[in-house]
Amino acid sequence: MTSCIILSMAIVVSAAKDSATHVPPDFQSDYSYSKPGFITTIESEASKDVGKAFLFHGEASKDVGNTSITFEGSLRRRKIAGRRGKGRGRGRRCRVADGTKCQFSRCGRGKLLPRCATGFASGVVGGRRGLSYTVTSHNDSLSNPAPGTLRYGAGLAYSNPRGVWITFSRDMTIRLRTQLLVWNHTTIDGRGFKIIITQSNIGMSGVENVIIHNLQVSGIYGGTGDTVHIFNSRKVWVDHLTCFDGENGLVSAVEGSTDITISNCYLANNNFNMLLGAEDTDIVDKDMRVTIYRNWFKNSNQRMPHCRWGYCHVVNNLYANWGLYAISARENARILSERNVFVAGIKPEVTQWSSDYNSQSDITPRIVSKGDLLLNGARFHEFLHFGRAGAPPYRRPRNYPPVVKPGKLFRLIGRCSGALVGKRIRSCFLYG
């Protein structure tokens, strides 16, 4: 019924006005799903010239053994990471209100990473106060995890109330035999290396204070079928992941999970992508609050995200070539779609709207667009029958993610989304 679903004329006008905006070739193809390799398929052409560009900073001839150390020098010259304090010996003060690059700068180095968190997961510390553990082996065993393996390190947080901060000693592909359970106060930090987790997924249940950062999680079959599954957990930050080829979906948060930020990820799947709230009967999800920030949703059929009951702040993301729809909601969910870019493929409708909506359709969600950029004929039908979504209920103003104009997202997200290592970090800082 047209009286139940209101089309915002302002959005239609903005779509027509912005139709002449240049869309890079990578975003113009029709919907078709492809399986990317680690990072390379989402690497910008700009990275081919990054060595030449880095000669300006005197860094190109250096062997990048520790990526963060190399970038500290370059970032100081470009005044990205921070600035000198007043007076000799007082060090430098960091400007971390960036949202995307802070994680690879001096400001977020090592266990300073949590200061870069934004959105509803702001304040998460992961395993910063806990044990430091380095993964040295790609092997995996459920019954008898060996020291040096990822599963052994994750288990340390179960017996240590302060948790664990997990890093890696080298590039590795870890084929999990079964779901890797993450406990309270855990950080899995993949910076500096190409870390691929496959076969089974990362999961958590009834925990809090977790950071999953800079990994590729792909080729997941069995179990929940999601690359990252968050069940009844809170204060979780999922950042800079490359996720694709999940049997069921990619990142999901269900059954009372809340205070979650999913940011800077590359998310491509042939069908389902992101599920926030699993069942119409899960009223426990009415308190769910999730920030979806600066992700690249590419070549997926649906659920980017699909929200039930709670509040989803979808801000500064890049959407390309969805199948059925990009964003949808049910059961009184509220979605604020703010300053995203939607590049339509075979289907123009951003939301799960159709002309044959009737009295049996769920009209309870509130879906509102604010400053979105609609390209290639994309259309955004707002759901306003029960009012507007309202402002995101962040506890403090500083928790609100830094927002850039949608036109800048092609460059920023195209070069900075997903797991970053080596040349892709350089490309992100120089061109993003």
User: Where does residue 140 rank: exposed (0-12), middle (13-18), buried (19+ CB within 10 A)?
Assistant: buried
Q: Which residue has the tokens 């035999």?
A: 177
355 Cβ partners below 8 Å, 6+ apart?
none
E strand segments, 195-316: 195-199, 202-205, 208-213, 216-220, 226-231, 234-239, 242-246, 249-254, 258-263, 266-268, 275-276, 289-293, 296-298, 306-308, 311-315
Pick the catalytic residue from 109, 294, 303, 426.
303
Residues 341 and 361 sit within 8 Å (Cβ to Cβ) = no
> In whole angstroms, what is the distance from residue 164 CA to residue 274 CA?
27
> In whole angstroms, what is the distance from residue 332 CA to residue 171 CA?
44
Longest dimension (CA), the chain: 70
Q: Do strands 216-220 and 341-343 pair parallel, antiparallel, or not at all (unpaired)?
A: unpaired
Copy the structure tokens of residue 381: 């039908």
Copy the structure tokens of residue 415: 């070069």
- In whole angstroms, how far apart are CA 335 and each of 307, 314, 361? 8, 7, 18
> In whole angstroms, what is the distance from residue 57 CA to residue 73 CA?
9
Peptide bond into 393 cis (omega under 30): no
End-to-end CA distance of the chain: 43
Residue 75, SS3 per DSSP: helix
The question of whether 303 is a catalytic residue gets the answer yes
- In whole angstroms, how far apart are CA 212 and each of 1, 133, 253, 256? 43, 15, 14, 19
Count CB neighbours of 354 within 10 A. 13
What is the CB-side half-sphere exposure of residue 41 using CA atoms within 13 A?
16
What is the CB-side half-sphere exposure of residue 78 using CA atoms within 13 A?
19
Tally of helices (H runs) and strands (E runs) in the chain? 6, 28
Let me know the angle formed at the C-alpha of 320 by 339 and 287, rounded to the nearest 5 degrees.
55
The set of catalytic residues is: 303
